[in-house]
Structure 1
Amino acid sequence: MERRKILIATKTYPSISTKYQETVCTAGVLLDDDEKPIQWIRIYPIRFRQLDFDKRYPRWSITSAKIERNDKDYREESWGHLTFVESLNLTPALSLVRRGSRNFVSPMVYLQN
């Protein structure tokens, strides 16, 4: 598993799964070491309520996590098997939102063929 920086954009309402119990799907932005955006990512499945309380992530937080490609999903943006390592800093992400997240995410517009 790779350790990566992720800006958490949003997560879905928990849904019940027979295979994974209760799960959420999370959308985020993969960041480089300088916290510049690389690409949109989708992380699934995450058993959010089963995470330790200090490992739960709010929207617009930057976290460092171990993730790997989801080999059961053909979509380029799909990742899975998330192990949170640490929350980094909430302040830069909140200031990014206040300035306008459009400027941050515009270079990563996802185009399908």
Structure 2
Amino acid sequence: MAQLSLFGPSGEELNPKPASDEVVRLRVLITVKAAPNPSEKYGETVCVAGVRAELEHPGWVRLYPINFRYLDSTEKFDKYDVVSVDAIPARGGDQRRESWRPLMGTLVRERRLPPWRQRRAWLDSYIQPSMCQLNQGARNTADSQSLALVQPSEVGDLKIRLHEGWTKEEQRKIDAYVNQLDLLDDQDRTPLEAPRFRGAYRYRCWDRRCRGHEQGLLDWEFVALQRRLRHCSDEEARGELKKKFLDMMCAPKRDVAFYVGNQAKRRHVFSVLGVYYPER
């Protein structure tokens, strides 16, 4: 891939979270919107990630929690929008150095980057070749990198299987939220529906020792497309999902890379949060 970036880090000198809990104004190019998860407090929450837009502070940013269903129209944003927002470093159960807690009332959508030249100028230098190295770092270091853009050497398959439904704990959170009674609350408490399918990419990275990776696909777009395919049979829907997320996004004519991120409680478990797929 061409290294066009004016914004990305030149190496591993990514900024750690500040030691204090002072509010910081962040400017972020949004690259990831993960599928919503059940939340007892909000009904559903979304994890959003991207890269810092300030030249003097390159690095990855994770913004959580965000309740997209209830954002005002002025607060809604999409992938590859540049936004600014006040945030404080995440603490407690999320010590990952990229994690911040956004103050959503302060969010401003600044502009959108069109595909793909301008996006490449921001992102290509973030691409790294080894998922194996990320896994090793997560096993060895508590403060290891938890977000990355990884270029596969080959993409073998996108496995798609039926979703088994929410776990008991996830369903408990949904039920608790829906059953809350508040006469002053006019929010829609429709329960979050489990997606129809789960997806997982199989691929190899460029590490010479790589035996292959299989990582779940948690992209918002993967779930949104399933909802648009409600009228299709399982076989037809699987075909349409593969057509977009494997045949189109991972086509040989594209410089494919995967946005990956790990879990706060299971740092060694990385998932694919989205696909970066500019044409060569």
Q: TM-score with structure 1 length normalisation?
A: 0.78
Q: Does 1:39 align with 2:59?
A: yes
Q: Does 1:81 align with 2:102?
A: yes
- Look up the SS of the partner of 1:7 in the other structure: strand
Task: Compare relative contact order (CA 8 Å, sep 6+) and give the higher one, 1 or 2.
Answer: 1
Query: What 5-or-longer segments of structure 1 have no aligned partner?
Result: none
Report the Cα distance in structure 2 between the residues aligned to 1:6 and 1:39, rounded to whole angstroms. 10
Q: 1:95 Cα shift?
A: 4.2
Q: Does 1:6 align with 2:28?
A: yes
Q: 1:24 Cα shift?
A: 0.3
Q: Deviations over 1:57-94 (max 9, x none)?
A: 10011011111111121110111133243111214786
Partner of 1:51: 71
Q: Structure 2 vs 1, CA of residues 55 and 93 (structure 1 numbering), >3 Å: closer, same or farther?
A: farther
Q: 1:31 Cα shift?
A: 2.0
Report the Cα distance in structure 2 between the residues aligned to 1:78 and 1:93, rounded to whole angstroms. 27
Query: What 5-or-longer segments of structure 2 have no aligned partner?
Result: 1-22, 142-280
Partner of 1:66: 86
Letter in 1 for 2:33: K
8 Å contact from structure 1 (residues 8, 28) kept in 2: yes
- Look up the SS of the partner of 1:49 in the other structure: helix
Letter in 1 for 2:60: W
Q: TM-score with structure 2 length normalisation?
A: 0.34
Report the Cα distance in structure 2 between the residues aligned to 1:94 and 1:6, rounded to whole angstroms. 18
Report the Cα distance in structure 2 between the residues aligned to 1:93 and 1:31, rounded to whole angstroms. 17
Q: How does 1:91-110 map to 2 (within 5 A)?
A: 91=113, 95-97=117-119, 99=120, 102-106=123-127
Q: Deviations over 1:9-55 (max 9, x none)?
A: 011112221133211000111221x5x76111111111111110121
Q: Structure 2 vs 1, CA of residues 52 and 19 (structure 1 numbering), >3 Å: closer, same or farther?
A: same
- Look up the SS of the partner of 2:59 in the other structure: strand
State the identity as a percent.
Answer: 31
8 Å contact from structure 2 (residues 34, 48) kept in 1: yes
Report the Cα distance in structure 2 between the residues aligned to 1:80 and 1:53, rounded to whole angstroms. 21
Letter in 1 for 2:26: R
Following TM superposition, the consecutive aligned residue runs of length 4 or more in structure 1 with deviations greater than 6 angstroms are none
Aligned pair count reads 109
Q: Structure 2 vs 1, CA of residues 52 and 59 (structure 1 numbering), >3 Å: closer, same or farther?
A: same
8 Å contact from structure 2 (residues 52, 60) kept in 1: yes
Higher-Rg member (1/2): 2
Report the Cα distance in structure 2 between the residues aligned to 1:93 and 1:6, rounded to whole angstroms. 17
8 Å contact from structure 2 (residues 85, 102) kept in 1: no
